[in-house]
């Protein structure tokens, strides 16, 4: 397993992977039924393309297979910890409220928070 910077040339491959394996099951997307597995979602894809263009996105590569782990759910957080990533901040979903004080996301257990995680590559 090695970590590589996602280049602009990899963008379409990464977006397709996210459509097939991530967008529909990501806890926040799932809580609001934002999209269906495998189908395009222009707003999500535009956000991902902008992030890739920043040059700060990494992919874990094994041979020619690619996967990306975001720490928005308990399972991805566990995977990130197994690769030595550390939590530097947390945001609980039940504390993210709309203007009337109601929770915006009704996320199922065990996905109770976003964990901001880093891996020090120095």
Mean pLDDT of the chain: 84
Q: Where are the domains of the chain?
A: 1-68, 72-122
With b for 16 or more beta-carbon neighbours within 10 A and e for fewer, the 34-53 pattern comes to ebeeeeebeebbeebeeebe
Q: For residues 2 and 78, give the distance between their C-alpha atoms in angstroms, rounded to a whole number.
A: 18
pLDDT single digits (tens) 50-106: 988 988 787 776 555 437 455 788 988 998 899 888 888 888 888 888 899 998 888
Q: Which of 23-27, 30-34, 51-55, 67-71 has the lowest mean pLDDT?
A: 67-71
């Amino acid at each position: 397993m090695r970590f590589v910077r996602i280049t602009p040339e990899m963008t379409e491959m990464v977006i397709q992977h996210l459509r097939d394996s991530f967008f529909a099951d990501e806890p926040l997307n799932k809580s609001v039924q934002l999209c269906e597995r495998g189908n395009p979602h222009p707003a999500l894809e535009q956000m991902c393309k902008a992030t890739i263009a920043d040059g700060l996105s990494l992919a874990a590569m094994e041979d020619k297979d690619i996967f990306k782990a975001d720490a928005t759910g308990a399972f991805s957080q566990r995977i990130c910890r197994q690769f030595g990533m550390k939590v530097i901040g947390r945001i609980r979903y039940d504390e993210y409220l709309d203007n009337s004080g109601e929770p915006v996301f009704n996320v199922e257990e065990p996905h109770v928070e976003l964990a901001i995680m880093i891996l020090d590559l120095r």
